[in-house]
Structure 1
Amino acid sequence: MLGVAMDLDLVEVEWADGVGGGLRKSVLGAAARVVFESVPPVRRFASYRGQRHFTGWCWAATTESLVGFESWLERDRAMLLDHDRRVVGLASQPFRVSWPGLTRRISHTPDYFVRLEDGSGLVIDVRPADRVGPEDAVKFAASEAMCQAMGCWSYVLVHEPEPVEMANVRWLSGYRHPRNRVGTVAARLGEVFHEPRLLMDGAQAAGDPLAVLPTLFHLLWCGDLTVDLTVPLGDGSRVGLAAVGHE
């Protein structure tokens, strides 16, 4: 943290106008009502021969739209956010902020803006733990101070995800599309897993596993069914019905 309060009237924010295709600008303190989770990226995702990072787009079930990324680490984070039940909106490279430095204005473009189910915003930067240099640290600390000053936003700098959990989420993401939810099968699985039981035992109890498993994995992706993702997912994983009024 910077250790000092940020004057939001000195912080400018710039974002892309999804209607006209141009850029809009405001002081950050007046931008709380902008629906940043629905804006296009403020800059292009460059792709060129010999580049050292991987850029692309992934489809998010939360928004039923494409979300951009500039590294595999960002792609994984987008996937984790898409899997998070608290997330109701997600945008990549949503805006650029700038503020006065000692000799010049400093600018920064956060990696993601998330809208949470309680209506608050979450600003996210993604960076490998061993690649946070002094200048980066200043920008990240400033971003955190800005979000604290906003009151309705929070900020987090994230690094590499836990590998086993990430591998499980990648697998479940293959079933994130709503087409995998078969209503009658989902209802049957809700009954079968009302009391926790082993994954494959429940699938067999609900019908033909080949027909049941896509819906089962989709429900695990959505969080309607729960499982411990910190250990490898498999036939012997213990699956249960999500509690009503999840946190």
Structure 2
Amino acid sequence: MEGFEVGYVDEVGEQRVPLVHARPVLFEGCRPVRGFPSYKGQRHFSGWWWSATSLSLVGYESWLERDTLMMLDFDPLVVGVASQPFWLFWATEGKPRSHVPDFFARLADGSARVLDCRPAVRVKQRDRAAFEATRDACAVLGWRYEVVDAWPETLVGNVRWLAGYRHPRHGVPAVAEELRAVCSAPVGLLDLAESVGDPIAVLPVLFHLLWRQELLVDLSVPLRPETVVSPSAGVAW
């Protein structure tokens, strides 16, 4: 592989720089380098995810990408996310190559994650070469690179439910404060809600706190009324 370059679109327009000059670029604020087409008969599903992290819409091109975007939105360490964030250009044996990763995520400590989403059964040799090149380029910049094959079904199902309550409007301050106070020790989910008030009014706030991981549950098993809720002590997945 020969000399990496990075292409991106910022508020000024299209840019193309040597790889080492890309480290300070705020890709989480850049525009996608290509669009998200939708047409009759297409075999994948494009759409937009409203991100509670960036308070904006972020595009995806498959259900796997949507779930990955949702999990990035759920991760409290992620402070910014962008889809189709940049072109990576390089050459192999004199032949030009390029690749657009699916997502860029900025972490709270300033580091970054770059992700591609592809089921293992659909990864071809050309894909492997592109993923390997992207991994090498990210290593130069000190970024973490990963290829997402799938998410555990129960985990992603639970997070998808909680995502329905991700909007800040569900974080009613007085109710949230009372829930945190009551949940100073592990307690059943429905018992916790009923101890604060009418579950119909309280549960959306409780689910919002679980989405924000200010309160925690075991997300590896299905959520139930008796699911144990605990005070936050770190990331739950």
Give the deviation of 1:246 after TM superposition.
9.5
Partner amino acid for 1:209?
A: P
Give the deviation of 1:245 after TM superposition.
9.9
What is aligned with 1:76? 67
Runs of 4+ residues over 3 Å off in structure 1: 244-247
Q: Report if the CA contact (8 A) 2:76-2:235 is conserved.
A: no
Q: Secondary structure at the match of 1:43?
A: coil
Cα deviation, 1:7-46, whole Å, max 9, x if unaligned, reads: 7xx11111112x24x3111011111000001111100111
In structure 2, distance between residues paired with 1:192 and 1:180: 18
1:16 matches 2:16: no
What is aligned with 1:220? 210
Partner amino acid for 2:8?
A: W
Partner amino acid for 1:43?
A: R
1:67 matches 2:58: yes
> What TM-score do you get using the length of structure 2 for normalisation?
0.96
Give the deviation of 1:244 after TM superposition.
7.3
Q: Secondary structure at the match of 1:11?
A: strand
In structure 1, distance between residues paired with 2:94 and 2:44: 31
Residues 44-193 of structure 1 correspond to what in structure 2 (within 5 A)?
A: 44-151=35-142, 153-193=143-183
1:194 matches 2:193: no
Alignment counterpart, residue 43 of structure 1, candidates 30, 34, 44: 34
In structure 1, distance between residues paired with 2:235 and 2:128: 37
Partner amino acid for 2:130?
A: K
Structure 2: which 5+ residue stretches go unaligned?
A: none
Worse-superposed segment, 99-108 or 237-246: 237-246
Give the deviation of 1:243 after TM superposition.
2.3
Q: Secondary structure at the match of 2:50?
A: strand
Structure 1: which 5+ residue stretches go unaligned?
A: 1-5
Residue 99 and residue 46 in structure 1: after superposition, are their counterparts in 2 closer, same or farther (change >3 A)?
same
Cα deviation, 1:34-82, whole Å, max 9, x if unaligned, reads: 0001111100111111110011111000000001000111001100110
What is aligned with 1:232? 222
The percent identity for this pair of structures is 49
Partner amino acid for 1:53?
A: H
Cα deviation, 1:93-145, whole Å, max 9, x if unaligned, reads: 00000101114111000000000111101110111121111111111111111
> What TM-score do you get using the length of structure 1 for normalisation?
0.93
Question: What is the total number of aligned residue pairs between the two structures?
Answer: 237
1:29 matches 2:23: no
